[in-house]
């Protein structure tokens, strides 16, 4: 049996169509399992691998709590070998702690350093290395890691303060360290002053904007005297803001116009009554309302 394709090509079936259908079905099944295996198997294995790593680490922690340090090391080592690089950072630090407890300081330093090699800002390993070198009497290297702990840590972190205290003590023997600490604290103070100034400036702008919005609300209600009060408060916090100056002057002009009309109407009524003296007083009041300096209204 044969079928004809485009361009006059011929495609032949297998000898028996039924046999071909069976072969075709089997082939599709095999293809499905092949694609399934290459698509999902790595993810499944990765999940099992990560789960096993976490289990080993938990077992290591439990053994460490029980004082079974060698057993804990075995579990931690397995966890580290199964973990992704980033996840193994704290495990190396844990191993360093155990080696240090066992008195194996070289191995402890090596594992702390392994953690820092994977994440050079991992603070626990940095602190542990600093104290390890201090214990060994290597104050230069201890100072190096205490300095890094201070540089990388938050100023409010208690461990940052402890590192500063340690540097202060080391600085009594190594002048260079004392100078470094003084420079760093001066820099921190400068940064704090700058941050405070920026915050104060930002707060002032926020308050000025709040007063400005209040002024706008009063101006829409044609309560120009209250609008002027709010704009004036805003300008006391942002004296060179052109938007506020323009709004203030527009409200001031509206306020002057209203009062001038009131005095003019009163003066005319007084003239109608023949009270010229009082009428002059009302007209003079209009002149006192008009400022000498020009108003910015555009």
CA distance readout (Å), 68 to 63, 96, 105, 123: 5, 15, 18, 26
Cα 209 from chain centroid (whole Å): 26
With CA atoms as reference, report the closest residue to 72 among 42, 110, 37, 99: 99
Task: Give alpha helix (H) positions in the chain.
Answer: 17-65, 69-82, 89-101, 105-118, 123-136, 139-152, 158-171, 175-220, 224-237, 242-272, 276-289
With CA atoms as reference, report the closest residue to 92 among 69, 68, 114, 74: 114
- pLDDT, tens digit, for every residue of 276-293? 989 888 888 888 878 777
pLDDT at 12: 28
- Contact of 90 with 115, CB cutoff 8 Å: yes
pTM, to two decimals:
0.57
Give the mean pLDDT of 185-195: 86
pLDDT at 50: 53
Look at the block and give the residue holding tokens 């829409």: 220
pLDDT at 51: 63
Which range of 14-28, 117-131, 236-250 scores highest in mean pLDDT? It is: 117-131
> Any idea where the domains of the chain sit in the sequence?
214-289
With CA atoms as reference, report the closest residue to 253 among 298, 208, 284: 298
With CA atoms as reference, report the closest residue to 112 among 149, 68, 153: 149
| CA atoms lying within 13 Å on the CB side of residue 12 | 3
- pLDDT, tens digit, for every residue of 85-109? 888 999 999 999 999 999 999 999 9
- pLDDT, tens digit, for every residue of 251-280? 989 988 888 998 899 989 988 998 998 988
């Amino acid at each position: 049996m044969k079928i004809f394709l485009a361009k006059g090509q011929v495609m032949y079936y297998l000898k028996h169509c039924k046999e071909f259908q069976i072969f075709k079905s089997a082939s599709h099944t095999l293809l499905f399992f092949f694609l399934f295996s290459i698509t999902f198997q790595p993810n499944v294995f990765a999940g099992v691998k990560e789960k096993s790593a976490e289990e080993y680490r938990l077992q290591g922690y439990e053994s460490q709590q029980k004082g079974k340090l060698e057993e804990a090391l075995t579990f931690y080592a397995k966890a580290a070998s199964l973990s992704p690089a980033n996840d193994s950072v704290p495990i190396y630090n844990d191993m360093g702690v155990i080696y240090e407890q066992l008195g194996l300081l070289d191995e402890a330093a090596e594992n702390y350093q392994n953690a820092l090699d994977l994440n050079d800002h991992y603070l626990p390993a940095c602190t542990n290395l600093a104290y390890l070198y201090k214990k060994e009497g290597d104050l230069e290297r201890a100072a190096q890691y205490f300095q890094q702990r201070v540089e990388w840590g938050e100023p409010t972190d208690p461990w940052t303060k402890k590192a500063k205290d340690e540097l202060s003590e080391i600085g009594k023997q190594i002048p260079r360290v004392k100078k470094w600490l003084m420079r760093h604290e001066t820099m921190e103070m400068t940064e704090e002053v700058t941050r405070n100034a920026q915050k104060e400036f930002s707060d002032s702008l926020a308050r000025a904007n709040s007063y400005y919005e209040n002024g706008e609300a009063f101006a829409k209600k044609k309560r120009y005297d209250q609008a002027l009060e709010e704009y004036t408060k805003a300008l006391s916090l942002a004296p060179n803001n052109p938007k506020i100056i323009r709004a203030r002057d527009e409200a001031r002009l509206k306020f002057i116009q209203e009062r001038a009309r009131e005095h003019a109407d009163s003066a005319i009524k007084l003239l109608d009554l023949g009270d010229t003296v009082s009428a002059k007083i009302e007209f003079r009041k209009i002149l006192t309302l008009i400022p000498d300096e020009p108003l910015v209204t555009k």
